[in-house]
Each structure stands twice: as structure tokens, then as C-alpha cells.
A = this chain, B = another copy of it.
Amino acid sequence: MRTKESSGVDRVVIVGVCPEVEAGRFPVKRGVGQVMTVEADVFTECEEPMDVLLKYRRADSREWNHTPMCRIGQERFRGSFRLEEAGLYRYTIDARPSAAAEGGAIDGTVEGKSERWVSYERELPLLVTPVRARYGAWYHTFPRSCGEPGRHGTLRDLQSQLPRIAAMGFDVVHVPPIHPIGRTGRKGRNGVAVAGIDDPGSPWAIGSHEGGHTAIHPELGTMADFRELMTSARSLGLEIALDIAFQCSPDHPYLSECPAWFRRAKDGTFEWVIDPPNEYRDVVGFDYACADWQGLWRELHRVVEFWIEQGVRVFRADNPHTKPFPFWEWLLAQVKDAHPEVMFLSEGLTRPAVMHHLAKVGFDQTYDYFPWKVSKPELIGYYSYLARPEIRDYFSPVLWVNTPQVLPMCLQGKGPRAFASRLVLAATLGSSYGVYGPAFEVCENRPERSGKEDYANSEQFELRHWDTERPGNLRDLITRVNAIRRQNPALQSNDGLCFHPVDNDRLVVFSKTSPDGTNVVVVVASTEPDHTQRGWVTLQREQLGMLQGRPCLVHDLLDDRTYDWSAPRNYVELGPEGPIAHVLAVRI
């Protein structure tokens, strides 16, 4: 006979606790400023009033805060608290039959038998992430292409671009690695195996005699330039996101200083980084399980801390799946413990389970599969999946319309309408979205080869000059879309997403609703923007907190027109002669 559990005292059951990621093994994520809501089934065998408390504390504090949970169903309770500061928290639930507290028994069972609280069996972790980890517009650009034509651009050149980027309404400027680039194995234009004498090499081939992961490529400038860039960015409300690519050119100082940190082939030579089907013959990889793994891990931690000292708050991890999960879990916990305001974006990969596990072990955000979600079923299927509460609890996507490595098939050879349509979709479907900026602004649409997603003359291997003023550029639309995002809280979260029926398989209609329900935006987009698409939209009004039959005006935030959508079904038409999309603020 078991003792405590079976003594008849612990009659209180606390189950069905929500949210909870893998039974508390990994933290639930929420953003600063959000409200954390917790629900649970709490009951005893008899029907009786219960006192239920939601308890929470900072992980580094022993002091619990508590707030009552209220009955919202037969045995279901709900409580919530506001998240004021980033950092790691713990939460759990205490409960007891109310009768004991009130001094009067509801029935004979409880009287005098449970003066005490029963705690839920787990203290669950909650990671409160910075605002930028939930909501932001990202602009990817290569500093070395920011200069005058024919000249290697610098950090100062990038700095001079910041006001333009800020004016378009972006929040984060993401740059590739800014460190010295190796010579050995350097790749040439379009990724060919042998570089020409003037080829600048890939910024991801980090390290030369000029330094490694804490140095700046001399042609880009100095550490002082970098600090000035950071100051300038901050004054414009921009974050600079740095790329952390933990891999080394064969010329990296680490190879001579700490050769034991690297992977070796059977013949004793250093091993190239292999990420099937790619082989990166300009970089070698760390051995995270080498004898001196603790030394290696500490050094990589030091690299991140170095850049935090220079003011960096946003990091984007390159090829995260070529490093072990325990490494990331440890590194990210270390950094966040000391700097809760710092955030990490994980690059995407073709293995969803691995990508989602990286989010669980601590990445705040992750690239998603937006470039390959083009048709209506693909978009609805994938974003309905990502909108599931149990996925949203740990996975926060950044919808990249394009990246330096991916010119999506749906944009290859296409004109501004295709680019504009994908921009509106990404920027409204996702609270975080990004563009590989200059190439996107000018609708660069040439792949290196037919059937491949690499850009022709990719900036990864050569300098490019972008004439962002050229006719057909999308600056005005981008500026408008980013302004709409800033003015509409509904678009700053992925929590209130709902798809609506429309009787055309090439039209997608969805709404987003702000957490307080006061801001509703309905988006009508076409998956074939080069052809006219017509359809009847049936807005699911009850999903939007609207009554059937009541007047409903919608205001198009893209072209400032207003429509009467009081009828149950409403006609829409998108196409070459008409609007590219509707982004409709609903006046309830």
C-alpha cells in the first residue's frame, strides 16, 4: 500500500494542463507584452468548489507570484498573467477543495481532510522572448555590395543605406558574416570550385591570417566602423542581425591554434563540412565531441558574447543542423540567462522534425517553408498547421520571400506583380517576414540554371551593384505594407489567424485578429497574380466576433477604398487590370 498518494488526502487531480511542451521538457514561448494564459482540468471525485491558483516566478527567483484561476467549464479552469520582461520563468498550479478554506464542508468527504494545497506534478518552463522574436520585418543585405559600382562596399556604405531601409519600415537588417574570408579552397563566381584572382569568396568561409570569428574583414572596415554602424542603426530603430556560422576556412587561426577541435578524415586531413547534397570545400567543421569539447564550446560562447559586447542583439544561425542539439541548448541557455534581450533565428532546413527540435532547444525563431508554399492548398495546409496552439507554443516562423540562396521557382522569370503578391502574402500571413532586400526590391528573377533555386551571379560569390531606383522597383509597395503592419496589431501576431471560404481555387482569403479582438484585418490574395481571378468570399463572421446581418464596412489599406461587406457573400476580383491584393481593415 503506497503511503502519501493513496492516503485519501490527495484527492485533487490536475490534468490537461495547457500550454505544455513535451511534458515540460522544453519551454513554452511567449513574447514580452503578451498575456500568458494557462488552462487545466482540476477536480476531485466529488462535485465541489475548488480554489485554484496559477503560480509563476522567474527561473532565477524562489518567490512565486500567484493569481486565481477561474472555472470556465465543468472542471476546466483558466488563469493568466502579463509578461513584462524577457527571460526564463516557471509556472505551475496549486489547488484544493474550497470547503476547507471556508470552514464549512460541502459534504462529509472534505471536512478537515485537506487544509493543504496540492501542486501540479511539474514546474513548467516558460521562455519570454523579446518583441522582435515575435514580430518584425527583416531586410537581408550584403555590405560589400553597398558601395559604388566596381568598388568593394564597406560597413560605412551600409550605414549610409540604413535611413533608406528604415524609411521602408524594416525592423532588422541582416548581414552575412563580416569576418575575414579565407583563400584556400575559395570558390569563384556562381560557386565554381576555383576562384579567380579578384573573386571575393563566400563570406561564410570564415577566417584568414587577418583573423577569425571576432575579427572584421579589412575590406569592410574596422571594429570602430562596426560600433558606429550599431549606433546609427539603433538611432533609426533598426537592429543589425549578425550571422553566426560556426565553421572555418582552412586559413582560420583556430586550425593552427587548436587543431584538435576539428574533424579529421582517416588520412588525418581536416574534413570539409558536408551537408548532403552540399559539400563545402571552402570550410572545415568543428568536432563538437572532441576531447576538448568543453574548450571548444566555451570559445564559441565567447564569440557570441564578444558581439553582444559590440551591441548585437539579434543573431541568425547558419546551418544549425550541422551542430549537435545539446550544443545549441547549452549555448542559447547560457546567452539568454545573461542577456534575455538577445534573440536567435535558426536557418531552415529540409527536415521538419529537426527544424522543430531546434526551435524547442532554444531558437526564438525559424525560417519556414514559405518559398515553397505557393498554391492555395499548400498555403492553407501549412499555415493552419503552424497556427495550431501546440505548434505556436514553441515555433515562431520568419516568412522569407527570398534569400541569397533561394530564388523561389514562383518568382523565376516573373515580373513585379508576382513579387508584389508574394510580398503582401508573407507580410500579412506572418508577423515576422523577410526579404533578401536589394534583389527583391528590383525583382531580380534570373536563376543560375534552369531548375535550380540559386541566383545567377549570386552575391554569395561576387560583388553586385543594385540600382534600387530603377523603374518597376517595389519600394513604395514595401513601404506601404510595412506601415500597414505597424498600424495594425492584428498583423503583429500569428495567434489570430483564420482562413475563410472563397469559391476560387486561386484566391486565398484569411483574417488576422489582434489579441484584444479590436483590430481585424482581412487579406485577399491571388496565387496566380498574372491572371484575373474572381470569386465570392464568405467571411466567417462568428470567427471575427461579428454578428451576422449587421453592417460591415471594409477599408482597403493598400488603396484607401472602402467597400460595403454587409452581405453574407462579397465579390472580389484581382488581376493585371486591378489590385494586386486586398488588405482590408474591418470596421465592426
Contacts and interface: CB of A to CB of B under 8 A. Distances in A.
A289 B6 contact: no
Contacts of A264: 108
Contact of A74 (B5, B324, B352): B352
Contacts of A45: 320-325, 354
Q: Which of A46, A265, A271, A351 has the most CB of B within 10 A?
A: A46
A298 interface: yes
B108 A1 contact: no
Q: Interface size bucket, A side?
A: 35 or more
A330 B74 contact: no
A193 interface: no
Contacts of A294: 1
A528 to B, nearest CB: 29
B43 A354 contact: yes
A88 to B, nearest CB: 15
A7 B289 contact: yes
Contacts of A22: 15
Nearest to A361: B13
A330 B9 contact: no
Interface in A301-355: 320-327, 329-330, 351-354
A276 to B, nearest CB: 6
Copies of chain A in the complex: 2
A430 interface: no
Contacts of A352: 74
Contacts of A2: 330
A20 to B, nearest CB: 9
Contact of A326 (B7, B15, B109, B321): B7
Given A6-B327, A8-B327, A274-B107, A47 B13 contact: no
Contacts of A354: 43, 45, 75
Nearest to A289: B8
Contacts of A285: 108
B289 A326 contact: no
A362 to B, nearest CB: 13
B321 A351 contact: no
A10 interface: yes
A55 interface: no
A323 B44 CA distance: 10
A543 to B, nearest CB: 20
Q: Which of A8, A10, A274, A298 has the most CB of B within 10 A?
A: A8
Contacts of A274: 107-108
B326 A288 contact: no
Nearest to A324: B11
Interface string A80-121: 000000000000000000000000000111000100000001
Given A321-B46, A325-B11, A351 B265 contact: no
Contacts of A10: 326
A289 B15 contact: no
Contacts of A357: 13, 15, 43
A330 B285 CA distance: 55
Contacts of A276: 47
A288 B8 contact: yes
Interface string A151-191: 00000000000000000000000000000000000000000
Q: Which of A6, A7, A16, A113 has the most CB of B within 10 A?
A: A6
Interface string A1-31: 1100111111101011000001101000000
A99 B360 CA distance: 26
Contact of A351 (B75, B107, B290, B325): B75
Contact of A8 (B9, B75, B265, B293): B293
Interface in A285-299: 285, 287-290, 293-294, 297-298
A5 B326 contact: yes
A41 interface: yes
A320 to B, nearest CB: 8
A213 interface: no
A353 B108 contact: no
B6 A330 contact: yes
A43 B351 contact: yes
19 contacts: A2-B330, A6-B326, A6-B327, A7-B293, A7-B326, A8-B288, A8-B324, A8-B326, A13-B325, A13-B357, A15-B353, A23-B23, A43-B351, A47-B276, A47-B351, A74-B352, A75-B354, A108-B287, A109-B263
Interface of A: 1-2, 5-11, 13, 15-16, 22-23, 25, 41, 43-47, 74-76, 107-109, 113, 121, 263-265, 271, 274, 276, 285, 287-290, 293-294, 297-298, 320-327, 329-330, 351-354, 357
Closest 10 CB pairs of A and B: A8-B289, A23-B23, A108-B263, A75-B353, A8-B288, A108-B271, A6-B326, A11-B324, A6-B330, A45-B321
Given A41-B353, A75-B351, 9 more contacts: A1-B330, A5-B326, A11-B289, A11-B325, A11-B326, A45-B320, A74-B351, A107-B271, A109-B289
